[in-house]
Structure 1
Amino acid sequence: METIFALVQNPAAWVALATLVVMEVVLGIDNLIFISILTNKLPEHQRERARKIGIGLALIMRLGLLATVAWIVRLTEPVITILGNELSWKDIILIVGGLFLVWKATKEIHHHVDPGDPEDTLIGAAVATFGGVIVQILILDLVFSIDSIITAVGMTPHIQIMVIAVVFAVTVMLLAATPLANFIERNPTIIMLALSFLLLIGTTLIAEGLGVYVPKGYIYAAMAFSALVEMLNMWARNGRKRRRLAEKR
């Protein structure tokens, strides 16, 4: 209890908390895009429940990982050398997660471009099940969780601050998940843009796992610019629709 009171009275702790909250929320955007696209493949009556369960289990997993933060920090130690590159378990997890994300995004793009292709098994009944969606949400959240926790450890040594930041970010994800998923479903062009974001994020994870650091600011600036352009396109399309409706009257 004394530690908590000491943190409340420490301005540095408040700065660390604010920084961590912003970081967790921003990283959560990647997760939300993936969750939105994935759960929209389920029957409508299962979508919101899948989002809540997936994000709720993700919170439990993140809190569990925070309880083993000393072990997670050791994941940055090199365990294998490939072609002169020393890889840690963190690097391996990022590479595998990035490959998984690139594969999923590529399959989704293929499905949207050619939905009648019988070779496409991503949306098949055997894959797009309630349990399958939950498992895939947790797999990707594990990748982002380990990355964000290791980053958080470098920003503050206080577990209490990390827990508050994680709980806040996951709460934001719960509140934003359904509105974002509905918005993506109503706007088909947004789906392709979101999938291109997932490709970009997956490629970035692979690069970081191989030791090539890509500043997050560049990634999110590019995503924000692309989203702004698409918003302007949507505004222009809606304007043309209104004019056509007015002319018909």
Structure 2
Amino acid sequence: MRASIEGYFFIRMLDDVMDGHSVPAASLPAMHLFSLRFHSAYHSLFPADSPFWAVFADALVCTAEAESADTLLTSIEEEQFLAISARKSAAALIPVAAVCYRYGRVDALPAWRALLDAFAPWHQMHDDLLDWSEDLASGRCTWLLSEAERRKAHGETVAVWIGRTGLRWAADRMAEWMDRLHCIAGELGSPEVMAYLERRDGLFRRQIEARIQLAVLCEPMLAIAHS
């Protein structure tokens, strides 16, 4: 658990830097400590020749490559979004792989990998949807903003399209992904995973419905402002 927390802190700080968010310079050296503690926890569990380390290395390479590739894109298509989101989240497989190798259940790893791969686009769109205004202001490219540029009417702004159509469009896609996630989780036979997905889905639905209702209320004012 401690290793997962240290790794999460490292990845979150790196992600904030890559996204152009304001990160106090004085806090950046702490990333060395998070990375060290993340690695050290697994060295105490697995010898150097354990096959776990191949999974560990592959997962980190996938995450690093995807993070770098994501920053270079100026427009994103659906296929790119699905591929990059899965690779960006590859490091999440590390603690799962550690449990599987530690307790002799390597046979269970493919099913858990499938769950994490399916969860990745939902999680990424969740972030992109709730942070779209910050991403737009900072010039960051996301699939949501790319679709807004492609789909908005002539003379319509990205912000107006998102309020008019984009929020619902993204929420519908996420509902499709969540349905698939429930199917995969059901096959794993883990009540804890099912409960986690239900909590995340329920919270998101409340958040997005509130934003959609707010957008509906603001639509007449936006129409006047852009008339």
Which protein, 1 or 2, shows the higher relative CO under an 8 Å CA cutoff with sep ≥ 6?
1
TM over 0.5: no
What TM-score results when the alignment is normalised by the length of structure 1?
0.30
TM-score between both structures, scaled by the size of structure 2: 0.32
